[in-house]
Amino acid sequence: MTSTPLATYQPDQRGLALIGGEATDANLRRYLHGIPGIDAVGLEARAADLGTRSIKTSSKRWAIDTIIGLIDLTTLEGADTPGKVRSLVAKALVPDPGDPGCPRVAAVCVYGDMVGAAVTALGSAHAAGGTAGGEVQRVRVAAVATAFPSGRASLAIKLADVRDAVAAGADEIDMVIDRGAFLAGRFGQVYDEIVAVKDACRRADGSMAHLKVILETGELNTYDNVRRASWLAILAGGDFIKTSTGKVAPAATLPVTLSMLEVVRDWHRLTGVRIGVKPAGGIRTSKDAIKYLVTVAETVGEEWLTPHLFRFGASSLLNDVLLQRQKMTTGHYSGPDYVTID
Amino acid sequence: MKFLDYAPAPESQALLNLKSDYGLFINGEFTAGRGTPFQTINPATEQQIAMIATANEADVDAAVSAARRAYNGVWSRLSGSDRGKYLFRIARLVQERARELAVAETLDNGKPIKETRDVDIPLVAAWFFYYAGWADKLDHAGVGPNPSSLGVAAQVIPWNFPLMMLAWKIAPALAAGNTVVLKPAETTSLTALLFAEILQQADLPAGVVNIITGDGSTGQALVNHPGVNKVAFTGSTSVGRAIARSVAGTDKKLSLELGGKGANIVFDDAPIDQAVEGIVRGIFFNQGHVCCAGSRLLVQESIHDDVIDRLKRRMQTLRLGDPLDKNTDIGAINSAEQLARIRELSDLGQQEGAERWSADCEIPENGFWFAPTIFTNVSTSHRIARDEIFGPVLSVLTFRTPAEAIAKANNTPYGLSAGIWSDKGSRILAIADKLRAGVIWANTFNQFDPSSPFGGYKESGYGREGGRHGLAAYLKPAVRSGSRSLAAADHATTPGSKKSASASKKSASAEKAAK
């Protein structure tokens, strides 16, 4: 029982023009299956090759600070409380109490019912409306929604989930696609849902929360599926494509992220529009994160290394990066007791 | 500074302990050469690395005699499993000293450290491990039961993969029971001489492997030496032809691995991003100094513009410069002579009307460098579509139908390698069946494995290296007494009990020697 028929939402016209008609299963299938395939061995070899770049001294210092500024510091637990979220926000604002020069993270990422707590805790540091600026770097609030992580709920529930989070002050919505529908070939349904969720991101003043579309690549299983789902999400109007919920293994991998970056690069060639990419889950070390920066820079260009176009969905990554940062400043390694737990 | 201007990340040379002069390695010892020594330089800086001895005819004779003595006295009497032990030991030592060998190879050859570290040296170890395993299984090499070795093998190798080509030559020769005299290329002798030190470390019996250095005349004296039973050469087609001529009429067995002008065929249903990677790997790997390089890109006309656009974008991310920097993709051209040839052919390509495009990259002041370059609008009659350039230069041609792709791919005097890019398995098999090339890669390029035979058709040479076939190049069928029929001879060798008992006795005594 859906409250509003899907057809009433305004789809992205550019996407429709490319598909060459209505977003029906058949039209979408024709379009998505016309995209060149991916050779898994070749893709993984390329990702491994990018992973061998050696980032040293000044480049490493820049990379470390950039990584911090690209993190969506995340807590997505059943046990989350306002207290836990306050602690997370404090960490987001002052990642390293020993070094006031340490940059802030891009956003905190929480469940929808914790958005209020996050907004309150951020106070004046909240980047309301998603516009960062001024002297102080502001922090955004991202909310997972649409019956995250499985997405198994009616559309009405999913949309209500989104509207609640937006109304509570979320700047960004991380939605999940209906993987079941995608794998069953009901591309039209996946497309329509993204269009509807995008519409639900509209605030009372007409501005929009940013929409990140989670593909859950671990459930899509093949790189060809990841590529098609990426195109589908972008055609339907997603601002960001995101690998995973973090609740399914494997989560983000370098080859999967590379394949999504290639889609984003091709979309930019085709339309001039820049779409963001967010690998999430499983990135725990600075070394891994640097491989992602290299992959972004060499695939789509380093102009993508800004919070508007690239994010890491991670929690434990931040402390490893901070340890590396302290090492670069002081010249020696400290230990886990020299960074704060959130 | 932009992030993509990665800060320098040079590999340390501290591990290297090079001598200022290197002699010849004959009969297990370094001895001075009787010819005039020459310098080996770093092609990235033009600085001298060391002085290398030149072997004259007398030295060649001494090396061949040492190899003959070692063959008669030790190596041909050793059991297969004992020969295998030495080869395993060499393989392990190569792995232990891998970083040192990688740095030395990069210094001497100019190729990037990431290639010597991740490709050349690991393959050297893999080759020795692979053939070590074969040494006691020669009955299965495909030349019948109880095959016998040939004797002394004269091996002449090129400068593009110095240590790897050495391994391709020495490992199967020793596994099969031959002894070796090897001559590395004039510009890249260094790692072969470090390898000689490894042989000393491995306690390989004196004279089993001899390494003599020098220019073309040394190589000529070696292959023409009457005491040699087998000649194996990798290098240019013109030299290969000369060797074939001089060996003709003798009972020397010959294998040649020569030039190539590989076609890399990209169909419109190819996995496009991986195909672009494959094109890059096919022609810019090792600065294009690869005999099996995919130097002719055959791309289906319907996707030509898209592929070229993607290729150019990708080429802009290639990093040319200090070969010792871990982020360098394109190193130095090996010699001034080779650079001149690449320039000459490229200029000719332009004069003939092909459209030239090179990636923007800063060319260092000293050393020999050539920016990655592609030519579009190339037709089959252009020199750059026919001659082997042996540099980072790609000629792009188009085709409309699979039949045209096959015809154009085969329209070359060479026949070493080819690549096919398509998502359609049946098409790959059908096309591969019709290509006249020794190695055909599907949805990949320039992949090497010791278990896979490698070699050419037509002017790319004959004989195979790698795999069981590579072993057969160093073996001959068992010598049988005249009147016995084939079947009887086969039968005579089957009751294995007696044979294996004596073999194990032999190996027990030889084990002591190998320890």
B3–A contact, CB cutoff 8 A: yes
Residues comprising chain B, all counted: 515
CB contact under 8 A, B269 and A36: yes
What domain count does chain A have? 1
Closest of A104, A48, A34, A83 to residue A291, by C-alpha: A48
Q: Please name the residue that has the structure tokens 């600075």.
A: A286
Strand, coil or helix: B55:
coil
The pLDDT of residue B485: 44
Query: Could you say which residues from 441 to 480 on chain B have a Cβ atom under 8 Å away from some Cβ of chain A?
Result: 443-444
The pLDDT of residue A12: 76
**Of B11, B100, B105, B291, which residue is the catalytic one?**
B291
Task: Give the integer Cα–Cα distance in Å for A170 and A126.
Answer: 10
The pLDDT of residue A226: 98
Per-residue pLDDT, averaged over B474-502, amounts to: 54
Task: Give the integer Cα–Cα distance in Å for A306 and A66.
Answer: 8
Task: Give the integer Cα–Cα distance in Å for B403 and A342.
Answer: 65
pLDDT in tens, A202-224: 999 999 999 999 999 999 999 99
pLDDT in tens, B153-191: 999 999 999 999 999 999 999 999 999 999 999 999 999
The pLDDT of residue A18: 87
Per-residue pLDDT, averaged over B335-361, amounts to: 97
Residues comprising chain A, all counted: 342
Q: State percent of chain B over pLDDT 70.
A: 93
Question: Please, which pLDDT band fits residue B513 given cuts at 50, 70 and 90?
Answer: very low
Task: Give the integer Cα–Cα distance in Å for B3 and A302.
Answer: 7
Strand, coil or helix: A108:
strand
Per CB-CB distance under 8 Å, the chain B contacts of A45 are: 277, 444
**Of A91, A198, A212, A278, which residue is the catalytic one?**
A278
B327–A contact, CB cutoff 8 A: yes
- Within a domain: residue A166? yes
pLDDT in tens, B209-256: 999 999 999 999 999 999 999 999 999 999 999 999 999 999 999 999
Question: Please, which pLDDT band fits residue B1 given cuts at 50, 70 and 90?
Answer: low
Closest of B312, B274, B331, B271 to residue B110, by C-alpha: B331
Residue B292 a catalytic site member: no
Give residue A77's domain range: 23-338
pLDDT in tens, B89-147: 999 999 999 999 999 999 999 999 999 999 999 999 999 999 999 999 999 999 999 99
Q: Which residues are within 8 A (CB) of B232 and not within 5 positions of it... i.e. 6 or more apart?
A: B153, B154, B155, B156, B169, B173, B254, B255, B256, B463, B473
**Of A72, A171, A174, A224, which residue is the catalytic one?**
A174
- Within a domain: residue A52? yes
Task: Give the integer Cα–Cα distance in Å for A140 and A119.
Answer: 9
Strand, coil or helix: B346:
helix
* Fold of the CATH domain B263-455: Aldehyde Dehydrogenase; Chain A, domain 2 (3.40.309)
Per CB-CB distance under 8 Å, the chain B contacts of A46 are: 273-274, 277
Exposure string for A124-134, b = 16+ CB within 10 A, e = fewer:
eebbeebebee
Q: Per the structure block, which two tokens stand in for A36?
A: 């060149």
Per-residue pLDDT, averaged over A232-254, amounts to: 97
Do residues B214 and B186 make contact, with C-beta atoms less than 8 angstroms apart?
Answer: yes
Q: Please name the residue that has the structure tokens 């992580």.
A: A149
Closest of B280, B274, B282, B264 to residue B399, by C-alpha: B264
Half-sphere exposure of A84 (CA within 13 A, CB side): 16
CB contact under 8 A, A305 and B3: yes
Distinct helix (H) and strand (E) counts, chain A: 14, 8
What is the separation of C-alpha B339 from the centre of its chain, rounded to a whole number of angstroms?
20
Please give the single-letter amino acid code of residue B399: F
Nearest to B7 among A57, A66, A293 (CB): A57
Question: Please, which pLDDT band fits residue A136 given cuts at 50, 70 and 90?
Answer: low
Do residues A257 and A295 make contact, with C-beta atoms less than 8 angstroms apart?
Answer: yes
- Within a domain: residue A263? yes
- Within a domain: residue A144? yes
A56–B contact, CB cutoff 8 A: yes
DSSP codes of every residue in B222-278: HHH-TT-SEEEEES-HHHHHHHHHHHTTSS-EEEEE-----EEEE-TTS-HHHHHHH
For the question of an ipTM over 0.85, the answer is yes
Task: Give the integer Cα–Cα distance in Å for B196 and B200.
Answer: 6
Name the pTM for this structure.
Answer: 0.93
Per-residue pLDDT, averaged over B57-72, amounts to: 98
CA dihedral defined by A129, A133, A136, A142, rounded to 10 degrees?
30
Query: Could you say which residues from 235 to 294 on chain B have a Cβ atom under 8 Å away from some Cβ of chain A?
Result: 269-274, 277-278
pLDDT in tens, B387-415: 999 999 999 999 999 999 999 999 999 99
Question: Please, which pLDDT band fits residue A13 given cuts at 50, 70 and 90?
Answer: confident
CATH of B55-258, one of 3.40.605.10, 1.10.287.3510, 3.40.50.360, 3.40.30.10: 3.40.605.10
- Within a domain: residue A16? no
Task: Give the integer Cα–Cα distance in Å for A106 and A104.
Answer: 7
Probe site for chain B from A33, A39, A257, A303 (most B CB atoms < 10 A): A39
CB contact under 8 A, B7 and A55: yes
Q: State percent of chain B over pLDDT 90.
A: 93
CB contact under 8 A, B7 and A293: no
Q: Is A143 left (phi over 0), alpha (psi -120 to 50) or beta?
A: beta
Do residues B156 and B234 make contact, with C-beta atoms less than 8 angstroms apart?
Answer: yes
Probe site for chain B from A41, A50, A54 (most B CB atoms < 10 A): A54
Do residues B417 and B271 make contact, with C-beta atoms less than 8 angstroms apart?
Answer: no
Q: What is the 3-state secondary structure (H, E, C) of B421-469?
A: ECCCHHHHHHHHHHCCCCEEEECCCCCCCCCCCECCCHHHEECCECHHH
- Nearest chain A CA: its distance from B445 CA (Å): 10
Question: Please, which pLDDT band fits residue A116 given cuts at 50, 70 and 90?
Answer: very high
A66–B contact, CB cutoff 8 A: yes
Q: What is the CATH number of the domain that holds A48?
A: 3.20.20.70
Q: Per the structure block, which two tokens stand in for B115?
A: 């290639």
- Within a domain: residue A7? no
Q: Is the pLDDT of residue A129 over 60?
A: no
CB contact under 8 A, B6 and A55: yes
- Within a domain: residue A139? yes
- Within a domain: residue A1? no
CB contact under 8 A, B271 and A54: no
pLDDT in tens, B286-314: 999 999 999 999 999 999 999 999 999 99
